Amino acid sequence: MDYFLNEDQKAIRDLARKIAQERVMPVRAELDEKEEFPWGPLKYLADVGLFGVYIPEEYGGLGYGSFENCLAIEEISRACIGVSVSFAASGLGSYPFLLFGSEEQKKKYLPDVASGRKLAAFGLTEAGAGSDAGGIRTTAKRDGDAYILNGTKQWITNGGEAELYSVIALTDKAKGPRGASAFLLEKGLPGFNFGKKEKKLGIRCSATRELVFEDCRVPKESLIGREGMGFIVAMRTLDKTRPGIGAQAVGLAQGAFEAAVEYARERHQFEKPIISFQAVSHILADMAAEIEAARALVYAVARWVDTNPKDISRYSAISKLFPTDVAMKVTVDAVQIFGGYGFMRDYPVEKMMRDAKILQIYEGTNQIQRNVIGQSLIKEYASKPH
Ligand code: COS
């Protein structure tokens, strides 16, 4: 399919594809097995400027948008979601200050994110506040020219590896979500520590850790936007980044599809390559159709997000929901086509199936995406006259 990419977009896609093929594919199984953070591949992505795709040129980026970022994410995901989520989570961590930060914050921090010199991370989730993001307990108490943070963030991607953290904390506990504020924190602050690296089913090379705040004093200039805006900052950030999860899903599904086709051409049973059996070709046909539908959706929404910055929640959620369900199905089916071999770690598809599951969970479970879409439909249609 030709998606009418311009020359710049093709160049970004091809660059990411080359790094994925040459620098990610050869090491993905080992990184997964050793649960080792992918600094090697990330450095190659940094060297060619891909961390700055969505960051304006005035802050050291390439000056493109969500769409171009999705193209890069898709290509890296074709090789390994563990690597691509470490890459994409830096975008998630930096969008709060890209969208809502002061000029000083943008000038000070975005060039390092764009160059990949520093990774960013996003701290919203807590043990008791996952889907119910408004239920966070971490507090930031004003004390003269500073805020003092206390609490623990859970399952933070790039936790411990990133240098910059966008953290949501309550500045006014009584107001609940409306009393939340966003802060930009640097690693190394006294009172800011990390939990152990979590052991996971998939995306095992990526780092997932707790952020632990114990009387962590930060200057008042760490505030992103205004006090009380934290929940909006978090939600608008997720609206921006959810198409990127869709792009992860499309890339992963494409990688699994390619592996399944290759295997089905090589594997002979009953004296024929198994691709020539209708039972197998129908599975591949469903994969091809669903992946293309998911890709077209992600591209359309990412382009739309770039041109219509407001009221994007519904379509952003749709662009996460559908492709991630497709990726789960496609990777399960890829294992099925490989049969017993698919279950073995010698082949790449078992890892792809393990990696796919998190896509239906992180950046809002797919049940939450349905809530977001449903709420938006209710808002638009419930009170419309018949
Ligand atoms: N943009 C701007 N504001 C938004 C918003 C958005 N996308 N979504 C919600 N808000 C605002 C609402 O307008 C509301 O404001 P008011 O109280 O001023 O009316 C406030 O935020 C609370 O919204 P709502 O009542 O819908 O919140 P709920 O308590 O029902 O929580 C959320 C629902 C939005 C938290 C839930 O749907 C959600 O997205 N959960 C998943 C969170 C997530 O993605 N976690 C992953 C963490 S990062 S990997």
pLDDT digits (tens, 9 = 90+) for 59-99: 999 999 999 999 999 999 999 999 999 999 999 999 999 99
Q: What sign for the dihedral angle of Cα 269, 275, 280, 284?
A: positive
Which ligand 1 atom sits closest to the C-alpha of 132?
Answer: 35
Confidence (pLDDT) at 295: 98
Q: Whose CA is nearest to atom 7 of ligand 1?
A: 235
- Whether residue 219 contacts residue 44, with contact meaning beta carbons closer than 8 Å, is answered with no
The closest alpha carbon to 57, from 119, 114, 116, belongs to 114
Mutate to test the pocket of ligand 1, among 158, 235, 359 (most ligand atoms within 8 A of CB): 235
Separation of alpha carbons 90 and 137, rounded Å = 24
Contact 252, 362 (CB under 8 A): no
Residues 375 and 370: their CA atoms lie apart, in Å, by 8
**Distance between CA 227 and CA 214 in Å, rounded?**
21
25 CB-contact burial (10 Å; exposed 0-12 / middle 13-18 / buried 19+)? middle
Residue type, 37: F
Ligand 1 neighbour 232 (Cβ under 6 A):
yes
C-alpha 362 to ligand 1 mean position (Å): 15
DSSP state at residue 185 = E
Token pair of 237, please?
Answer: 């950030």
Element (H, E) at 212: strand 208-219
Nearest Cα to 83, choosing from 240, 302, 248, 329? 248
In this prediction, residue 14 carries a pLDDT of 98
Is the CB of 155 inside a 6 Å radius of any atom of ligand 1? no
Kindly give the confidence (pLDDT) of every residue in the chain, 386 residues in length, as a single tens digit, with 9 standing for 90 and above: 899 999 999 999 999 999 999 999 999 999 999 999 999 999 999 999 999 999 999 999 999 999 999 999 999 999 999 999 999 999 999 999 999 999 999 999 999 999 999 999 999 999 999 999 999 999 999 999 999 999 999 999 999 999 999 999 999 999 989 999 999 999 999 999 999 999 999 999 999 999 999 999 999 999 999 999 999 999 999 999 999 999 999 999 999 999 999 999 999 999 999 999 999 999 999 999 999 999 999 999 999 999 986 789 999 999 999 999 999 999 999 999 999 999 999 999 999 999 999 999 999 999 999 999 999 999 999 988 88
The reported pLDDT for the residue numbered 308 is 80
- Enumerate domains of the chain plus CATH numbers: 7-118 (1.10.540.10), 121-228 (2.40.110.10), 231-379 (1.20.140.10)
The Å distance, Cα 211 to ligand 1 centre, comes to 22
pLDDT tens digits, one per residue of 107-125: 999 999 999 999 999 999 9
In the reported structure, the alpha carbon of residue 235 is separated from the centroid of ligand 1 by a whole-number distance in angstroms of 6
Look-up of token digits 């992918």? 38
Burial 346-380, CB ≥16 within 10 A → b, else e: ebbbbbbbbbbbbbbebbbebebbeebbeebeeee
Any ligand 1 atom below 6 A from CB of 364: yes
Tokens standing for residue 208: 């997932």
Confirm or reject: Cβ of 126 under 6 Å from ligand 1: no
Distance (Å, whole) CA 92 – CA 80:
18
Question: Which residue's alpha carbon is at the smallest distance from atom 11 of ligand 1?
Answer: 232
Kindly report the protein residue whose alpha carbon is nearest to atom 17 of ligand 1.
178
DSSP 3-state assignment of 271?
Answer: coil
Q: 167: part of which helix (H) or strand (E)?
A: strand 164-170
**DSSP reduced 3-state for 184:** strand
Is 371 a pocket residue for ligand 1 (Cβ < 6 Å)?
Answer: yes
- For the question of residue 33 being annotated catalytic, the response is no
- Please tell me the residue having the least CA distance from ligand 1 atom 19: 178
Residues 21 and 304: their CA atoms lie apart, in Å, by: 29
Name which of 44, 22, 2 is nearest 296 in CA terms. Answer: 2
Ligand 1, atom 35, lies closest to the CA of 133
Output the residue whose Cα is nearest ligand 1's atom 38: 131
pLDDT at 199: 97
Distance 204 CA to ligand 1 centre (A): 29
**Which candidate in 163, 290, 350, 363 is catalytic?**
363
DSSP state of 214: E
Residue 81, H or E segment: helix 81-100
Contacts 24+ apart (CB under 8 A), 8-13: 8/64, 8/68, 9/64, 9/67, 9/68, 9/71, 12/50, 12/53, 12/62, 12/64, 12/68, 12/71, 12/72, 13/71, 13/72, 13/74, 13/75
